[in-house]
Amino acid sequence: MIFIVVKFPVKPELAEQWPEITREFTEATRAEPKNKWFEWSRSVEDPNEYVLVEAFEDDGAEAHVNSEHFKMATSAEGPMAQALTATPKIISRQIDGDDWDEMGEMKIG
């Protein structure tokens, strides 16, 4: 699977609106057949930073970046780019597995 983490530095005045700014892109990506998950979180250290954790089947990421919703979301004129203070930082890796595993160092129940 392709595992991706992206940090988005959002303008302070738009940080509360970020979930709405990204809503259409998020919904379209989650509807892609080879998307495994697409989850937003907000940094507890920096309230103006959102972190996206996403995964695709091995051959699904290429279709994602070639999709119309991705092109629109990443365009310089798009609402996402206009809401950022800098270029997002990304880690994208091919990893073994196809879903989340339980944490071996901690068991509950």
Beta-bridge partners for 55: 3, 37
Q: What is the CATH number of the domain that holds 68?
A: 3.30.70.100
Please, what is the end-to-end C-alpha distance for the chain in angstroms? Answer: 29
Residue in 76, 78, 19, 75 with CA at minimum distance from that of residue 51: 19
pLDDT digits (tens, 9 = 90+) for 2-17: 999 999 999 999 999 9
- What pLDDT score does 84 carry? 98
- What pLDDT score does 82 carry? 96
Domain count for the chain, please give it: 1
Note whether residue 107 is domain-resident: no
Q: Of 63 and 27, which is predicted with more confidence?
A: 27
Note whether residue 101 is domain-resident: no
- Residue 108 CA: distances (Å) to CA of 17, 18, 27, 35, 104: 35, 33, 32, 29, 11
Note whether residue 58 is domain-resident: yes
What pTM, to 2 d.p., does this model score? 0.92
On whether the CB atoms of residues 22 and 80 are closer than 8 A, the answer is yes
Domain that holds residue 79: 2-94
Note whether residue 27 is domain-resident: yes
